[in-house]
Amino acid sequence: MSRVPGTPALLTVMRGVLRSTEEARAALMVSDWDALVEDSIRHGLAALVLGELERRGASPPRAHRDRLAQAARQGVVRALRVRELLCRCLRALAEEGIIPVLLKGYGLAVRFYPDPLARPCSDVDLLVSPDELPRAERALTGLGLRHDGDPGITDVYSEHHHVAFTGPGGAVDLHFRAFRGFGDASLTHAQVAPMLQLGEVEGLAARFLVPEDELVYLSAHAAGHVFLRLGWLLDIALLLQRHPALDVARVEETATQARLRSALRVADIALGVALHVRLPVMPAGMAPGDGVRMRLLERLLTEQQLVSGRVAGHRVLSFLLRALMSDRPLAVGLHVVEGALRAGRRAIHGRVLGAPRA
């Protein structure tokens, strides 16, 4: 497959990470180095892009290579800090008798990426059961981390999926649900608990979602942020590459129970556009008007929009797009009402939330 004219160089390089054919060699034919460097840095993929170009024998102009190298070093430093914080959290939780589930972040990078430090990481995401939550919070506060509340949420335990902590060592999101959003979608600990896998990171015990549940989670997370970071799509593609024979029935069951069927379909659209990868399953059952919604999303999730992040970065438009990802018509209304209430509370407190962490 030859390179499609007009395709952003970052997408060509990312496709090359997944393939060793013509599309991979097209990564060497970069005509707009400025765009590649800017896009790579904005999406936190400088280390991955630089490594791929070097692996393919590409020679960026000196100034562009220096910018990529500087951003890559900064990304590696952040990843090292996240790894250190993760290890501290795992040790502290082990003292409380808790082995948490690792969600995305460094725990994903060590399993799917050739160089774990090349995946952008900015925080630690841990999932525990609701029963373990009080002990887990105690363990994290014992590390000097403090609660970082969102003024838009009145009751984090009923309205959200994690408790946020921050401190000198970085940020930790302590999940009591894997995901909540799109009005009434919720991927709970109880849903994934029967299938959790025991493993380790840096010699420390940890748990992981089975690939089928992880596919649903990563798709929901990326769709929930309207694919603001292209690296989240690469996470899904690398999971599919590592686990080509998924249990389709399990994917369907998890997505249906969590009301994340639409999110999975939207992730499939974005994956196809950005990386020429498709999900192996689309859960059955379409809500009224689903075809119209999907056609609208297809028009918005173009190569250029995904790379630029303009749609995802537009507060009102991205909010409305997330409403379109709800599985049920009633959930669309719930999403709108809940979002309006949160925006109002944040405005009262004069706080605007920053970009989501990787």
Q: What is the CATH number of the domain that holds 34?
A: 3.30.460.40
Percentages (nearest 5) of helix, strand, coil residues in the chain = 60, 10, 30
The backbone torsions φ and ψ at residue 277, rounded to the nearest 5 degrees and listed phi first, read -120, 140
User: Which pLDDT score, from 0 to 100, does residue 94 have?
Assistant: 98
Of the listed ranges 90-99, 118-127, 146-155, 270-279, the one predicted with least confidence: 146-155
Of the listed ranges 143-152, 266-275, 295-304, the one predicted with least confidence: 143-152
The backbone torsions φ and ψ at residue 177, rounded to the nearest 5 degrees and listed phi first, read -130, 150
Q: Rounded mean pLDDT of 112-129?
A: 95
Residue 354 lies in a domain: no
User: Which pLDDT score, from 0 to 100, does residue 315 have?
Assistant: 81
Of the listed ranges 88-102, 204-218, 238-252, 315-329, the one predicted with least confidence: 315-329
Residue 265 lies in a domain: yes
Residue 223 lies in a domain: yes
- Specify whether the CB–CB gap between 219 and 236 falls below 8 A: yes
Cα atoms in the Cβ-side hemisphere of radius 13 Å centred on 179: 31
Residue 138 lies in a domain: yes
Instruction: Report how far residue 113's alpha carbon sits from residue 115's, in angstroms, rounded to the nearest whole number.
Output: 5
Residue 4 lies in a domain: no
Domain membership of residue 246 as a residue range: 9-349
Above pLDDT 70, what percent of the chain?
Answer: 84
**pTM (2 decimals)?**
0.89
Q: Rounded mean pLDDT of 83-91?
A: 98
How many residues does this entry show for the chain?
358
Residue 248 lies in a domain: yes
Residue 2 lies in a domain: no
